[in-house]
Amino acid sequence: MNIIHLCIVGISGYEGPNFILGAFDNEDAAEKARVAFIKNNQSEDNQVEVLAEKDRWIEVEDVKLDRFSCNIPLSDFYYIVSRFSEGFGQIYRDIEAIFDNYENALTKLEQLEKEYDESDASFPEYFAIEKLQANQINTKTVTQWLADDFFGDDNRLL
């Protein structure tokens, strides 16, 4: 059993779902990424903000570390399966699973889609896979994440 540390940038559900800054094999590396993100995005009044558009700033609710226990080997890339839930003008992201290969992540995503299709859900839900290089800051920025509507190609890969 391995522990994957996700550094997650919390965003208001009205702006968009949370952003994964990185997936790390050890807590120290994840903490360094968290501290660096806060330092690089801290305003004069000690708020953490990101520029969403030309003159529109979004306040970051928090930058936290989440630990995920996985029955996968440590890898160069992690495939993070997420559920995106919409309701009342907000969108939220829940991490469902982490895999070391795309095929297993896709199998999990298809299982979640089937369960959702068979349920009597009140609000729309979507599922996607995000591929992140281990122990590296996400190459996509929060601003790009919010501008790209969070979803990728037809293979459901962000």
Instruction: Place 146 in a pLDDT band, splitting at 50, 70 and 90.
Output: confident
Contacts for 9 with CB less than 8 Å, ≥ 6 apart = 18, 19, 20, 21, 37, 50, 60, 63, 142
- pLDDT for 105 equals 95
* Lowest-confidence pick of 25-29, 55-59, 132-136: 55-59
- pLDDT for 121 equals 85
> Domain coordinates of the chain in residue numbers?
2-147
* CA dist list (Å): 45 to 55, 63, 126, 141, 148: 17, 17, 36, 22, 29
Model pLDDT for residues 30-70, shown as the tens digit of each residue? 999 999 999 999 988 888 988 877 778 888 999 999 999 98
| Best CA proximity match to 9, nearest among 51, 45, 59, 46 | 59
pLDDT at 155 over 80: no
- pLDDT for 150 equals 62
Model pLDDT for residues 81-132, shown as the tens digit of each residue? 999 999 999 999 999 999 999 999 999 999 999 999 999 888 999 999 999 9
- pLDDT for 157 equals 60
pTM > 0.75: yes or no: yes
For the chain, report the end-to-end CA distance as a whole number of angstroms: 26
